[in-house]
Amino acid sequence: MARKAARAGDPAQFRPETNRRARAEVEFDEPTLLGAVFGQFDSNLVQVENRLGVYISARGNRIQIEGPEDSVARARDTIKGMYHRLEMGQDLDSGAIESLIAMSSEPTLEGIISGDAGAPPIMIRTRRKTIVPRSATQIEYMRALARSDVIFALGPAGTGKTYVAVAQAVSQLMTGSVQRLILSRPAVEAGEKLGFLPGDMKDKVDPYLRPLYDALYDCMPPEQVERRLANGEIEIAPIAFMRGRTLADAFIILDEAQNTTREQMKMFLTRFGQNSRMVVCGDPRQVDIPGGDRMSGLADAVQRLEGVDGIDVTRFTSADVVRHPIVGRIVEAYEGKPE
C-alpha cells in the first residue's frame, strides 16, 4: 500500500520548512495488527499525518515516514505506541491516538509503552479496562498515586484528575490493599440555584456526585458497584458527612475541592487514618463557593502543604486535556483571558 497524494488540509502543504527533511522506517513483528493500526480507509495514519505534517506509506509489515526531522521522530513514536496499545489488548480510537501524538513530544513515550529498563508499563488495571497515561502529566500523576499518601491534583476539566484517581482506587480495592473506597465532593451548585430537591438524603445529594458514579461504573461491572455500595465497601457522600470520622484502610477521593472552605478542607484532610491514601482533585480557577469572597480551601491547603513529606502535588494544564481536542483549545482560550 502506498498513498501518493497529500491529504486535504495536510499541514505539510502550508508549513514552511523549519528543519531538515528526514525518513524513518518502522517494522512490526505481527502484521495481523496492522489493519487496526491503520484504521478504516487508513484513517488513523491520516490523523497522524495531518497532525504532524508527515507523509506515511506502508508496504507489508513496514511503515515508512517522511517529513521534517522532529515530526518524523514523533510520528514514529506515535505509531509504535498505537501498535503497542493493540498488542496489550487496549482500544485504539481517535482520542487515544491524539494522546499518543501529544505525548510523542516527551522523550519518555517509548518507556511509557514498554517500561524503562525492564520495568512494567505505567498502567492501572481494573475489572473493566486498563488505564494507561494519556498525557505527559498523567504519567507523573499515576506515579504519585502509587507512592504518596496524599495527592493534590490541580487543573482544568478533561485532564483525567478524578477518573484516574477512581481507577487507582478501584484497582486497590480489587487487590485488597484497601478495604473501603470513599468518594466525596462539596454539594455546591455551579452558578445555579436548584432549590429544594425531592426525595430522601441519597436522592438529594446524588446529582452532585454523579461524575463519581460515572467513573465507578466505567471501571467496575454495574452489579459489583451496586453490591459494594450496599455493603459499605464503596461510600459516596458530600463532604459535610465526613466530620468526626477517622478513615482507616481506605482510598479517599475529594472531587471539586476548589469549592471547599478552608475549614472544610482542614476537617477533611485530618480524617486521614492508618493504611489510607487520599486524593484531592480540583480546578483552582473554577471556584463556586457562595458569597465569592471566601478563599478556596484547595488553594489554601496547597499553599500550606506543598513540599511536606508524603504529600504530592500534580498540576495539569490545557495541554493535558484528554477529551476532544477542541476542549483543550476552549480551556486555553478562557485561561488566556481575564475573568
Count CA atoms closer than 13 A to 287's CA, side-chain side. 19
Query: Phi and psi for 93 in degrees, rounded to 5?
Result: -120, 180
Helix (H) or strand (E) holding 75: helix 69-87
Asked if 79 and 187 sit in the same domain, the reply is no
Asked if 87 and 185 sit in the same domain, the reply is no
Phi/psi class of residue 60: alpha, beta or left (left: φ > 0; alpha: ψ in -120 to 50)?
left
* pLDDT at 10 exceeding the cut of 80: no
pLDDT score at 291: 64
Helix axes 136-147, 161-175, angle to 10 degrees: 40
- CATH, residue 25: 3.30.1370.10
pLDDT score at 198: 58
Report pTM: 0.66
Asked if 36 and 77 sit in the same domain, the reply is yes
Percent of the chain past pLDDT 90, that is, above it, reads: 28
C-alpha dihedral over 145, 90, 170, 119, to 10 degrees?
Answer: -40
Range of the domain at 243: 124-335
Mean pLDDT to the nearest integer, 130-142: 81
Asked if 323 and 181 sit in the same domain, the reply is yes
- CATH, residue 276: 3.40.50.300
Most confident range (mean pLDDT) of 6-15, 110-119, 211-220, 252-261 is 252-261
Asked if 52 and 31 sit in the same domain, the reply is yes
Report the b/e string of 271-292 with b at 16+ CB within 10 A. Answer: bbeeebbbbbbbbeeebebeee
pLDDT score at 294: 67
| Residue 178 pLDDT level (bands cut at 50, 70, 90) | very high
Mean pLDDT to the nearest integer, 227-238: 89
pLDDT in tens, 62-114: 889 998 888 888 888 888 888 888 887 777 888 778 878 876 665 444 444 44
* Helix, strand or coil, per DSSP, at residue 181: strand
Asked if 133 and 180 sit in the same domain, the reply is yes
pLDDT score at 306: 93
Q: Which of 5-14, 31-40, 53-62 has the lowest mean pLDDT?
A: 5-14
Asked if 252 and 313 sit in the same domain, the reply is yes
* Helix, strand or coil, per DSSP, at residue 183: strand
193 found inside a domain? yes
2 found inside a domain? no
Check residue 304 and report its DSSP letter. H
Helix (H) or strand (E) holding 25: strand 21-27
Asked if 268 and 130 sit in the same domain, the reply is yes
pLDDT score at 110: 45
Q: What is the mean pLDDT of the chain?
A: 79
